[in-house]
Amino acid sequence: MDSRTSETRLRIDHLRDALAANDVHAVLVPSSDPHLSEYLPERWQGREWLSGFTGSVGSLVVTRDHAALFADSRYWAQAEAQLAGSGVQLEKMTSGASTQYMDWIARTLKPGEVLAVDGQVLGLALAKALGAALSRAGIQLRTDLDLVEQAWPGRPGLPKAPVYEHAAPHAVVARADKLARVRAAMASIGASHHLVSTVDDVAWLLNLRGSDVECNPVFIAHLLLDAQGGRLFVAEGKVPADVAARLAADGIQLAPYGEARAALGALPAGAKLLVDPRRVTLGLREAVPAGVEVVEQINPSTLLKSRKTPEEARFIREAMAQDGAAMCEFYAEFEASLARGERWSELDIDTRLSAQRRKRPGFVGLSFATIAGWMANGALPHYRATPESFAWIEGDGLLLIDSGGQYLGGTTDITRVWPIGEVSDRQRRDYTLVLKGTLALSRTRFPRGTPSPMLDSIARAPLWAHGLDYGHGTGHGVGYFLNVHEGPQSISKAVAEPAMAMEPGMVTSIEPGLYRPGLWGVRIENLVMNVAVETPEHNAFGEMLEFETLTLCPIDTRCIDASLLGADEIAWLDSYHATVRERLLPLVDGAARDWLLRRTEPLDA
């Protein structure tokens, strides 16, 4: 047993001691914090600390005799490696939205036994589903215990990095205007108060940014609005005095982070509170007095921030061009270095690509940890090379690079696959089928208001035709100098909901993939924006939307099996490359310019 797995066993044992001390039979440790964030500050990385599994999504259940980690197919290979010898069993879920662990708990515990989960990190909607599942099995649920806190000596505290303003010209909508739009939505349903807990909503609404979460420019806070003002619950000392003064001018007062529950508990009888059940925790909801009416609807800010304004779209296009120029510089350097016989590792790719991004105007940081996967590592959708485990780029095959940047004027996310040496016919076929999926969805027109999940099968159809598929969604929303993953839209197999309607200004990824475990992976990703398009039948059938492709970087044509592409697909690809060339040539010179010209030659030339 290595030191890592023995440490995991010791931590699980400490957690079991906490179970016994509190007369509890099992504990659920979700990948969550009090703001239901996707990426977590260190304080709330309890699932990772306990199990050793570093994936961003997963749920850990520990009983007095068993420990199980529930993860979807994106993480199976990673989880199997990281859990080996730890005593934690991997339970494979069929999708990221699965609640399979609820069934496992119901089967594993006996009627009358008790499951604990910290209500301060348990989403309200999820709490309802969990409570119903346990009730049917006769299992009791306790949400008043933080057993991770009891088992984790030296647990990290709250992040201390300062908050700063997202200023003009990039913050094109004033804070007062955003607050007015949210209050108008509150008034439309008669709400006197509104609790906002999701950190990207808070940051967007107040035109503030931070660095409490790796790669996401957000900060830990709750916001409680009323008809005239509001209170921002944030750790003391994080907001500079000049920023606090400007917040106060817009009616926003600061309050200690830990007082959010008490403020909810002090709401007057007859108040009407708007909360989003998918974006607020059970612990906060339980603090609301019985005399306060609660309305459960999606946060107005979630809908508003998903629809980028024309001015924001202009800055996003500029950020995409700078990001594309950085990639031209990197890929020119990379290919020239390989041609000289120099050796590269996956870690080198991360370091040197990030260095090129740092040179571009408006760059703030990465939008997520770079995924550079050579051959078999490329078959792991959420792979991340580490100093302890990485591959050298050597021999023949496919290199997958998924990366992105945070710029003052936008957030980028791009995946490309590059041939190294000779590629096989099978690799060429896989690459082309994935490309066909990217092209098919990129060229689609659809009625405004179409639920985003309805578009998912368009990207999968070229793969389905050959009996192939991939285990992740096709597309996620992207923020404006905010989280690289945002809602409400999701091009995936998710059950469609009204809030997922596609509207003008939404920025979404298109990223079909194909993964051969132990061999190679292919994913080709661009970001796109919903834009209105005039049609001959516009008046008769309503407004139609299409995608404007925002990402500017060549798609390598050396991997393409042209016999699998139609003339219309080749024409789209050639047109895209002509746009990439036109937009990026003014931003590069020398070797990067030569590389760009070479990689944007028409496929049918």
Q: Omega of the bond prior to 488 within 30 degrees of 0, cis?
A: yes
How much of the chain, in percent, has pLDDT values that exceed 90?
Answer: 90
Q: How far apart are CA 438 and CA 442, in angstroms?
A: 6
| Helix or strand (DSSP H, E) at 183 | helix 175-188
Q: Which CATH number does the domain housing residue 203 bear?
A: 3.40.350.10
DSSP characters over 347-358: HHHHHHHHHHHH
pLDDT at 5: 56
The mean pLDDT of 514-519, rounded to a whole number, is 96
- For the record, the structure tokens of 475 come out as 């597309």
* Same-domain pairing of 320 and 449: yes
Residue 51: what residue type?
A: S
Q: Does the residue 279 lie in any domain?
A: yes
Looking at the structure, do residues 363 and 257 belong to the same domain, yes or no?
A: no
Domain boundary among 270, 300, 330: 300
CA distances from 165 to 135, 250, 272, 359 (A): 46, 14, 31, 22
> What are the contacts of 577-581 at 24+ separation with CB within 8 A?
577/601, 577/602, 578/602, 579/549, 579/552, 580/324, 580/552, 580/553, 580/554
Whole-number pLDDT of residue 72: 85
Contact call for residues 513 and 521 (beta carbons, < 8 A): yes
Q: Are residues 265 and 170 in the same domain?
A: yes
CA dist 78 and 527 (Å) reads: 27
Average pLDDT, stretch 359-369? 97
pLDDT of residue 604: 73
389 and 240 co-located in one domain: no
Residue 319 maps to a domain:
yes
Residue 311 lies in a domain: yes
460 in the same domain as 346:
yes
Q: Are residues 186 and 275 in the same domain?
A: yes
Answer whether 202's CB lies under 8 Å from 171's CB: no
Q: Note whether 487 and 469 are same-domain residues.
A: yes
* CATH code of the domain in which 459 resides: 3.90.230.10
* Claim to verify: residue 103 and residue 247 sit in the same structural domain: no
159 found inside a domain: no
Q: How far apart are CA 379 and CA 383, in angstroms?
A: 8
**For the segment 219-244, what is each residue's pLDDT rounded down to a tens digit?**
999 999 999 999 999 999 999 999 99
Does the residue 158 lie in any domain? no
The whole-number pLDDT of residue 541 equals 79
What's the whole-number mean pLDDT along residues 499-522? 97
pLDDT at 433: 98
Which residue, among 326, 307, 486, has the nearest Cα to 407 in the 3D structure?
Answer: 326
Q: Write out pLDDT tens, residues 180-197.
A: 999 999 999 999 999 999
Name the pLDDT band for 419 (thresholds 50, 70, 90).
Answer: very high
Mean pLDDT, range 25-40, rounded to an integer:
94
Chain length of the chain: 605
Quickly state the pLDDT bin for 538 (edges 50, 70, 90). Answer: low
**Residue 580 confidence class, pLDDT cut points 50, 70, 90:** very high
Beta-carbon contacts of 52 under 8 Å, excluding residues fewer than 6 positions away, are: 4, 5, 7, 8, 82, 83, 86, 88
Domain presence at residue 326:
yes
96, 195: one domain: no
Task: Specify the amino acid at residue 143.
Answer: T
pLDDT tens, residue by residue, 203-213: 999 999 999 99
Tally of domains in the chain? 3
In this predicted structure, what is the pLDDT of residue 243? 98
Q: Are residues 139 and 100 in the same domain?
A: yes
| In a shared domain, residues 400 and 504 | yes
* 31-40, 88-97, 139-148, 562-571: least confident range: 88-97
Rounded to whole angstroms, the Cα distance separating 258 from 262 reads 8
Q: Indicate the residue among 300, 335, 360 that finishes a domain.
A: 300
pLDDT at 476: 97
Asked if residue 524 lies in contact with residue 416, where contact means CB atoms within 8 angstroms, the answer is: yes
Q: Do 23 and 91 fall into the same domain?
A: yes
Range of the domain at 383: 307-599
Q: Say if 35 falls within a structural domain.
A: yes
**Residue 539 predicted with pLDDT over 80:** no
Confidence of residue 605 (pLDDT cuts 50, 70, 90): low
Last residue in a domain, options 124, 151, 178: 151
Looking at every residue in the chain, the average pLDDT score rounds to 95
Q: Is 97 within the bounds of a domain?
A: yes
Per-residue pLDDT at 3: 46
